[in-house]
Amino acid sequence: MPMAPSLGSRQEQLSLPFGDAPLWDGPRLQQALAREAARPVQLALTDNRSVLLSFRRSEGAVQLRLHRMFLHAPLAVVAAVARGLRRKPGRAEAQVRRFMNENLHRVRKTERRLPPLLTRGSCYDLARVFESLNHRFFGGGLEVPLTWGRGSGRARRGGLTFGSYDPVLDLIRIHPVLDRREVPLYFLESVVYHEMLHHHLGGVPDRAGRTVYHSRAFRAAEARYPWHKQALAWEKENLSHLVRASREADAQRKEERARLAHAKRPARRSRA
Ligand SMILES: [Zn+2]
């Protein structure tokens, strides 16, 4: 049975003198949600950067995980969240989505800062690759920091993640294994171009409310890169070589770190 937000509940929102102070604390928000949803709600507040709202039902109760930004949610938004709990997990109400979009700065606040940007490699200068692509395909209009990644922890099953786009940091990282002479410029370009498209096109929600990044529009735009097919073919042919090269570089870095740690030890001891 749909329940209208009850009159008077607005008074439960904390009234604080500061414009940006939270409107709720955890227990009060949970109470309000339970009342609006007309069922028990177990609320967990999170600092999760990618999932702002998720819930599942178990034995009549709803286990709801909400980003802390919802402590700032006006009652109407809380009521909309509660309405959503009566439906299947999936697409959030428009009002809730709007609130989340307007409060993304609260997500960003808790984040690590941009790492140092290293664009000049030993073979390729990423800044120049970016500028050229920006000019040729985006009318020079894109502004997004990029850097050679550290190459660690990016291996995945069956290959390597050559590039990534972090929408929260708004940062493109390119795997350093691509900074070598045997990698053709068109392959590096296709990887950077792909990540630039992620920045440019963003995600599109599908019917279930999940965000789709490689949408049909994305694939169409990706194919506009003139050497797209060649790049795919080159990757297929050279992937195992690159995986091996990346592993070797990993091992070298590890050795280097160990040597540095060893060299530092006497200095530390003399200070003590
Ligand atoms: Zn992608």
pLDDT of 101-155, one tens digit each? 888 888 865 555 788 899 999 999 999 999 999 999 999 888 899 999 987 655 5
Same domain as 149, residue 101: no
Same domain as 254, residue 160: yes
How many angstroms does the Cα of residue 213 sit away from the middle of ligand 1? 7
Cα 241 to Cα 149, 164, 222, 235, distances in angstroms:
19, 20, 25, 10
How many angstroms does the Cα of residue 164 sit away from the middle of ligand 1? 7
pLDDT in tens, 191-205: 999 999 998 887 777
Same domain as 239, residue 154: yes
How many angstroms does the Cα of residue 214 sit away from the middle of ligand 1? 6
Q: Averaging pLDDT over each range in 58-67, 164-173, 174-183, 247-256, which range is the top one? A: 174-183
Instruction: Out of 109, 143, 164, pick the residue that ends a domain.
Output: 109
How many angstroms does the Cα of residue 191 sit away from the middle of ligand 1? 9
149 SS3 class? coil
We report the CATH number of the domain holding residue 199 as 3.30.2010
The number of distinct structural domains making up the chain is 2
Same domain as 256, residue 194: yes
How many angstroms does the Cα of residue 167 sit away from the middle of ligand 1? 12
Alpha carbon 39 to its chain centroid, in Å, reads 32
How many angstroms does the Cα of residue 156 sit away from the middle of ligand 1? 14
116 belongs to a structural domain: no
Same domain as 254, residue 168: yes
Secondary structure (DSSP) of 23-86: S--HHHHHHHHHHHHTS-EEEEEE--SS--EEEEEETTEEEEEEEGGGGG--HHHHHHHHHHHT
Question: Which of 83, 34, 81 is CA-nearest to residue 62?
Answer: 34
How many angstroms does the Cα of residue 136 sit away from the middle of ligand 1? 20
How many angstroms does the Cα of residue 55 sit away from the middle of ligand 1? 27
Q: Say if CB 158 and CB 130 are below 8 A apart.
A: no
119 belongs to a structural domain: no
How many angstroms does the Cα of residue 16 sit away from the middle of ligand 1? 44
Q: How many residues does the chain have?
A: 272
Distance in angstroms between the alpha carbons of the first and the last residue of the chain: 70
How many angstroms does the Cα of residue 253 sit away from the middle of ligand 1? 27
How many angstroms does the Cα of residue 231 sit away from the middle of ligand 1? 15
Same domain as 102, residue 140: no
How many angstroms does the Cα of residue 166 sit away from the middle of ligand 1? 11
How many angstroms does the Cα of residue 198 sit away from the middle of ligand 1? 7
pTM, rounded to two decimals: 0.58
Same domain as 232, residue 203: yes
Same domain as 151, residue 68: no
Q: Say if CB 29 and CB 43 are below 8 A apart.
A: yes
172 belongs to a structural domain: yes
Token output for 144: 């997004």
Instruction: Out of 46, 81, 109, pick the residue that ends a domain.
Output: 109
Q: Which range marks the domain in which residue 71 is found?
A: 9-109
Same domain as 47, residue 161: no
pLDDT in tens, 219-248: 999 999 999 999 999 999 999 999 999 988
